[in-house]
Amino acid sequence: MVKVKVCGITNLMDAEKALEYGADALGFNFYPLSPRCVTPDRARAILYELPSGGCNVALFVNEAKEQVRQVLTSGASDDRRHGYHAVQFHGEESGDYCQGWGLQVIKAFRLKDKKSLEQLSNFPADLYLLDSWSSGYGGSGASFPWEWLEELNTEKIIISGGLNLQNVAAAIRRIRPYGVDVCSGVEVRPGIKDHGKIKEFILAAKGA
């Protein structure tokens, strides 16, 4: 069954509701220019209140390695129950940069056109998150043409960008990705989730 990642978590209630409704992963954004950015201390406080079993993802954009390590360490615990299980890089990070973290690595690619998919070839990451092109970072909120992926092996692909409860099922049936990522499509405003939309989105995705 497709995995669902709810990104841009900024508070405990949104995190708890996402997990309650069946989210497989939660994304915590540490990009300072994002309206959904959380501090390491705030994220750690949320993590320590969450049950085990989920996947917590730390998102960075062109960040210094030492800063990434500090954030990952700040959320760590002996059993990793309350720590991060994956790291997502959403900038121009190189293949060398993305190796050696000791966690699952998700590399995001913003697609200008179908040719942009050539970046995935032999890139050292566990999963590839595909988003539409935007001049900024951290998620575009717009979709890209799904037909670009029809000839691609999508078993390691997470699709993102413009997904909502109206179109997620169609996207999954067409692309058959490993997972889907949603942020603005289930929000009241940046950083604050609509719990009803989260529930309906996850039901639609899992039902597809």
pLDDT averages per 10-residue partition of the chain, 208 residues:
97 98 98 95 94 92 96 69 89 97 96 93 96 66 84 94 94 96 95 98 97
Q: In this structure, what are the phi and psi dihedrals at residue 183, rounded to the nearest 5 degrees?
A: -140, -80
Whether 31 contacts 136, CB under 8 Å: no
The pTM score is 0.93
In tens, the pLDDT along 153-175 reads 999 999 998 899 999 999 999 99
pLDDT at 54: 87
Residue 76 confidence (pLDDT): 61
What was the pLDDT predicted at 144? 87
Helices (H), 40-117: 40-47, 65-74
Angstrom distance (rounded) from CA 165 to CA 34: 23
pLDDT recorded at residue 53 = 82
- 3-207 maps to which CATH number? 3.20.20.70
Residue 137 confidence (pLDDT): 62
Both structure tokens of 17: 């509701």
Active site residues: 7, 131
Indicate the helix (H) or strand (E) that contains 195.
helix 195-207
Closest CA to 87 of 101, 74, 100: 101
Alpha carbon separation from 202 to 15, 107, 118, 162 (Å, rounded): 14, 23, 30, 15
pLDDT score recorded for residue 158 = 98
Task: Give the Cα separation of 127 and 90 in Å (integer).
Answer: 12
pLDDT (0 to 100) of residue 176? 96
Q: How many CB atoms neighbour CB 93 within 10 A?
A: 20
pLDDT of the residue at 164: 94
> Which two tokens mark 189?
């405003």
